[in-house]
Structure 1
């Protein structure tokens, strides 16, 4: 049943869907970055173990590049975690804003159905009285 709240409800649901999609994307990116960090860390460990006879700190250019890449990935991971928290908070706010509209729409439909039922009862009562009187 069409209600005066339909346009607003549709808009708010679309906003919720957009946030949900952004959240799914951010969580997927988070997973990729977390895997990349684990892989980079494992590579550094293997290199360190292979050079165990060498100096205690690996100062080779490759190791420095890997370490800086791990730092970049860790910063990106932290940024994504912050983004996910922001999206979750936005999702909650949008959902809380949608709920009263949903309730008003449901109440409107209930009132219209009750009104239609009353009219139907009145019409059937009138018809019954009319057939009894003839």
Structure 2
């Protein structure tokens, strides 16, 4: 059954679905930044060991560049984490609104079902009342005939 809430319900459902997708994307960016930072840290350790074993190699330029990249990834992670937090908050609000709309639509349907059931019951009562009145009328006619 269609309700006045169906359009808003579909729009809110699309919004929740879009937020779900956005949360997945932000989570993926967060994981990629963490993995990149871990890989850079491991590479820095490895390169420092190699440079420590050979006095002709200097790891300082590489380590400076790697630290800068690690800081860039840390900033990306902070941004992705902030975005994820905002998206989660927005998703909570949208999901709550979606549930409220679903409740309103269900209430509308229940009310319409109750009204239809009331109309049906009134119709059945009318038919039963008419049948009773007809039976009563026929019984009175039969008594009146017998009384003559």
TM, length-normalised to structure 2: 0.80
Query: Which runs of structure 2 are paired with 1:22-61 in the superposition (5 Å)?
Result: 22-53=22-53, 54=55, 58-60=59-61
Query: Which runs of structure 2 are paired with 1:106-121 in the superposition (5 Å)?
Result: 106-121=106-121
Aligned match of 2:74: 74
State the structure with more CA Rg.
2
Tell me how far apart the structure 1 counterparts of residues 75 and 122 of structure 2 sit (CA, whole Å): 70
Query: Which runs of structure 2 are paired with 1:12-27 in the superposition (5 Å)?
Result: 12-27=12-27
Q: Which has the higher contact order (CA 8 A, sep 6+)?
A: 1
Tell me how far apart the structure 2 counterparts of residues 125 and 32 of structure 1 sit (CA, whole Å): 70
Superposed displacement of residue 117, structure 1: 0.8
Superposed displacement of residue 15, structure 1: 1.1
TM, length-normalised to structure 1: 0.87
Structure 2 residue runs without a partner (length 5+) = 136-148
Aligned length: 132
Aligned match of 1:102: 102
Tell me how far apart the structure 1 counterparts of residues 47 and 5 of structure 2 sit (CA, whole Å): 63
Tell me how far apart the structure 1 counterparts of residues 32 and 90 of structure 2 sit (CA, whole Å): 23
Tell me how far apart the structure 1 counterparts of residues 52 and 67 of structure 2 sit (CA, whole Å): 18
Aligned match of 1:65: 65
Superposed displacement of residue 18, structure 1: 0.9
Aligned match of 1:3: 3
Q: What's the C-alpha RMSD, in Å, of the aligned pairs?
A: 1.9
Superposed displacement of residue 93, structure 1: 1.7
